[in-house]
């Protein structure tokens, strides 16, 4: 909005030129989203407490979690509010990619809210059924895929980190592939969100990495120099990533151990799905496997555990899945698991950035 309202006057007031710069607007977007969450946070948490919007805790989980009963949840509402408000303020509102990202984050947020509200109303951990959630997620992801393919801003050509000359063209098969990436990311982040700050930290790292990649992808000269696909308009996605980083850092302020608030499915399903969409828009889908390695690892641990559990008639590979519970069961303190997962996530983020040069 600032760009649309203020930049046109730069011929009279030269300092307004600054609103043209994606770097400046991304930093503005991050700081604004951070401040919104940090300033509104305490009042929002108090309001959730008054309304008794608190976490229902499963009695079959690690005992250390029993004390978390009643911690305010659905903090994702605050994250989404800050992200959306900041994005509206700092991006070029003529960008269709921005509206697509806002739309999908709110749609996935709505699926998560329905799930959270159902759990809170019923007072147990059964919200929407896995099937209901999956159908809605696939629907949202399909709309994104079709939009990108039909508006011709995208084709079905894939690019891989480290392999600069390997570019298979999936054609319309790109659509199910994009759906898989978006829905997979949404569910993987949801599974990861089970310890204080565990999902929030890697989300910040993943969004920061895509902030850099979208900046590069949106600049024809730099993209061609670094041999990554040029995506017209991806610069505005950079500003959106800045808003994710700021909002989630602000949320981490309250979500770090001992958490005063959880993001709920409204946060985890939405942020995961949105990062999936960012990876699809920037044509860096496979990069998500590297930078989002923590999410992948958590999802794989569940797939393996559930598969083996069913096939073996009740035996387990891990002490408990998702993976973070395994370490808790081994006696690691919650903060130790979380910080170590963050360390791995930072290393993965650095490896993802290295792919810019190593090709």
Does 268 sit near ligand 57M (CB under 6 A)? yes
Residue 236 Cβ vs ligand 57M, minimum distance, rounded to whole Å: 29
Nearer of residues 47 and 162 to ligand 57M, judged by Cβ: 47
Nearest to 227 by CA among 359, 65, 85, 346: 359
CB atoms within 10 A of CB 52: 9
CB atoms within 10 A of CB 166: 9
Nearest to 345 by CA among 187, 162, 180, 209: 209
Return the residue of 26, 32, 73, 95 that touches ligand 57M, per CB under 6 A.
73
Nearest to 336 by CA among 193, 202, 199, 196: 196
User: Interacting stretch for ligand 57M, rule CB under 6 A, among 46-54, 94-102, 164-172, 190-198?
Assistant: 190-198
Does 194 sit near ligand 57M (CB under 6 A)? yes
| Residue 54 bridge partners (DSSP) | 72
Nearer of residues 222 and 319 to ligand 57M, judged by Cβ: 319
User: Interacting stretch for ligand 57M, rule CB under 6 A, among 52-60, 85-93, 171-179, 211-219?
Assistant: 52-60
Instruction: State the binding string over 272-311 for ligand 57M (x if CB under 6 A, else -).
Output: ------------------------------x--xx--x--
Nearer of residues 228 and 263 to ligand 57M, judged by Cβ: 263
Return the residue of 77, 321, 337, 348 that touches ligand 57M, per CB under 6 A.
321
Return the residue of 191, 205, 252, 291 that touches ligand 57M, per CB under 6 A.
191
User: Interacting stretch for ligand 57M, rule CB under 6 A, among 26-34, 57-65, 79-87, 89-97?
Assistant: 57-65
Taking a C-beta distance cutoff of 8 angstroms, is the pair 87, 240 a contact? Answer: yes
Residue 136 Cβ vs ligand 57M, minimum distance, rounded to whole Å: 15
Residue 299 Cβ vs ligand 57M, minimum distance, rounded to whole Å: 9
Residue 119 Cβ vs ligand 57M, minimum distance, rounded to whole Å: 8
Distance CA 116, CA 125 (A): 9
- The alpha carbon torsion through 336, 342, 344, 350 (nearest 10 deg) reads -150
Return the residue of 80, 128, 259, 299 that touches ligand 57M, per CB under 6 A.
259
Q: What is the number of the residue whose Cβ is closest to ligand 57M?
A: 61
| Positions that interact with ligand 57M (CB under 6 A) | 55, 57-58, 60-61, 65, 68, 73, 190-191, 193-196, 255, 259, 262-265, 268, 302, 305-306, 309, 316, 320-322, 325
């Amino acid at each position: 909005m600032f760009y649309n309202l203020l930049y046109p006057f730069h011929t009279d007031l030269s300092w307004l030129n600054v609103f043209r710069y994606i770097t400046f607007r991304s930093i503005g977007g991050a700081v604004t989203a951070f401040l919104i969450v940090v300033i509104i946070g305490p009042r929002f948490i108090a309001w959730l407490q008054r309304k008794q919007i608190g976490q229902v805790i499963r009695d079959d989980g690690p005992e250390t979690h029993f004390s978390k009963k009643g911690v305010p949840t659905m903090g994702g509402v605050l994250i989404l509010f800050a992200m959306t408000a900041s994005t509206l303020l700092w991006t070029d509102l003529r960008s269709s990619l921005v509206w697509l990202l806002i739309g999908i984050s709110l749609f996935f947020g709505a699926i998560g809210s329905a799930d959270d509200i159902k759990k809170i109303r019923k007072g147990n951990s059964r919200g929407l059924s896995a099937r209901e959630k999956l159908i809605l997620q696939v629907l949202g992801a399909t709309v994104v895929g079709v939009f990108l393919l039909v508006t011709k801003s995208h084709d079905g050509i894939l690019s891989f980190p480290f392999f600069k000359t390997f570019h298979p063209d999936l054609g319309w098969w790109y659509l199910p592939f994009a759906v898989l990436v978006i829905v997979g990311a949404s569910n993987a982040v949801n599974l990861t969100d089970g310890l204080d700050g565990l999902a929030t930290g890697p989300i910040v790292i993943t969004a920061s990495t895509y902030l850099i990649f979208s900046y590069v992808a949106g600049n024809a000269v730099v993209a061609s120099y670094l041999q990554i696909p040029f995506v017209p308009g991806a610069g505005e996605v950079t500003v959106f990533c800045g808003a994710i980083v700021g909002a989630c850092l602000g949320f981490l302020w309250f979500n770090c151990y001992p958490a005063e608030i959880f993001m709920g499915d409204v946060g985890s399903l939405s942020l995961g799905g949105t990062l999936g969409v960012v990876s699809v828009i920037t044509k860096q889908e496979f990069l998500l496997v590297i930078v989002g390695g923590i999410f992948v690892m958590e999802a794989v641990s569940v797939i393996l555990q559930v598969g083996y559990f069913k096939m073996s008639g009740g035996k387990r590979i891990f002490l408990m899945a998702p993976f973070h519970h395994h370490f808790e069961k081994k006696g690691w303190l919650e903060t130790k698991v979380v910080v170590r997962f963050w360390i791995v996530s930072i290393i993965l983020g650095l490896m993802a950035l290295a792919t810019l040069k190593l090709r």
